[in-house]
Amino acid sequence: MATSRFAADRQLSVRMVTVIALIAVAYAVAISVLILVLGRFWPLGVAVVVAFFVFQMATSDRVALAASKAHEVSAEEEPELHAIVDRLCALADMPKPRVALINSPVPNAFAAGRSRRRVVLCVTRGLRERLDDAEIEGVLAHELSHVAHGDAVVMTVASFLGVLAGLTARVGARLMYFAGRARNLWQFLAVAFAVTILAAITWFVSLLLIRALSRYREFAADRAAALLTGNPGALGSALTKVSGAAGQIPSQDLRRATALNAFYFCPVHIQNRAHADGSRSDKTATGHSVFSTHPSVEARLERLAHIAEELSH
């Protein structure tokens, strides 16, 4: 954004704008189908959808804090952490967000909130203990980049399409249930079936687009953080440590953390420790799929290596 010094990636920006445009088309399709299904009651249906959307936007930061069991910490309670955030905000020329600590051994961090005034930057105890200051600075710069570029709002708006398409599919399924009571049974069934299928397709396409958008935004945040701090190596080191920490964390803590994977700096993967010979098998491949919210660690490290090359010249 113009009000911060976080660098933009034009190539990624073009991709993100393209994906957002396609999501807008999918929104138009979903709303059109919803209006068609509800008939003369469509204003009521749209009002319910809008009200739910406003509620989701207004409570996003509080929901994230409650889900992660994070608690806000003052500069007196966490002076070193606040000092890092202060330094990054001064570098980026942006307002300082609230800072919260999560009592979890899983090393990770995320930012949540619909606006800069409502943003909260959450850091786990595991991140504070396992990473050095330079690595923590890289992770927090990544999260602050999400804040500066309005990623939380963009992803909330984009993700709401899935809710809208899901609602339309439920309405279509309900129509099919009541089709047996209609006079023109087959005609009614055909309309209900078509609505349900179209809504399901819209939901699936939107899911793929939203996940692609999420991956692009992670790449963009990595680049912006690396350029702001001038230390892509520290960010890469942090990424390696965070992604490789699963083998040292209790499974119960890992399972609890996976609920917030879409928001985390690096998604949490649970590893299988059941091998009697002591070998360990990772349940999640290192590469990402079209359904992944984050790029693979290898892809992120490769891009950070290219950025390090650029900065060295």
Active site residues: 143
How far apart CA 214 and CA 56 sit, in angstroms, is 19
Letter string b/e over residues 97-110, b meaning 16 or more CB atoms within 10 A of that residue's CB: bbbbbbebbbbbbb
Give the amino acid at 203: W
Q: Enter the tokens of residue 257.
A: 């953390």
Rounded to an integer, what distance in angstroms lies between the CA atom of residue 214 and that of residue 162? 14
DSSP code of residue 4: S
8-32: burial string, b at 16+ Cβ within 10 Å, e else: bbeebeebbeebeebbeebbebbbe
Please, how many CA atoms are within 13 Å of residue 186, restricted to the half-sphere of its CB? 0
List the strands of the sheet with 98-102, edge to edge. 70-72, 98-102, 120-124, 109-112
The C-alpha R_g of the chain, in whole angstroms, comes to 22
Determine the length of the chain.
313
Angle at 122 between CA 162 and CA 225, to 5 degrees: 85
Work out whether strand 120-124 and strand 98-102 pair parallel, antiparallel, or are unpaired: parallel
